Amino acid sequence: MSPDRRTLLRAGLGLTAAFASGTQMNTPAQANSNDRSRLKGELSHDEAVRAAAADDFGRIIRKEPRAVLKPAESEDIATVMRWAAERGLKVAARGQGHSTYGRSLTDGIVVDMRGLNRIGDVEADRIVVEAGAT
């Protein structure tokens, strides 16, 4: 069974808090090529992509990330979380950017969840969706 939205959000928020006080490196571009080659999504260092993920919805808080992950599957998130943990980088989950007071922002790596928008099982008492589904 694939993880549901609540499971992914709990994991992302819990790990973000755990890594919040770590040491930081200069750039994620220094990652081992084997780490990045496992990604099916895209880890972007492009200035325009990073700038687009730097503001919260109300434009109250601004933090430009070192990189933005656009995952193709949940395993991409797990891979980047492990990589970031080894380097003491912060990771923030971002949907539509409507978080309270910049909680989807970081100077580490932002995970853009909008691409994970598949809708899974629809039952009488629940619907299983990915983190970017609206």
Whether pLDDT at 41 is above 70: yes
Looking at per-residue confidence, does 130 or 6 come out higher? 130
What is the pLDDT at residue 71? 95
In this structure, which long-range contacts are made by residues 54-61, counting pairs with CB atoms below 8 Å and at least 24 apart in sequence? 54/105, 55/97, 55/105, 56/97, 56/99, 56/101, 56/102, 56/103, 56/104, 56/105, 57/96, 57/97, 57/98, 57/99, 60/101, 60/102, 61/101, 61/102, 61/105
pTM over 0.85: no
Write out pLDDT tens, residues 62-90: 889 999 999 999 899 999 999 999 999 99
Whether pLDDT at 121 is above 90: yes
Per domain, the residue ranges of the chain are: 5-129
CATH number of 5-129: 3.30.43.10
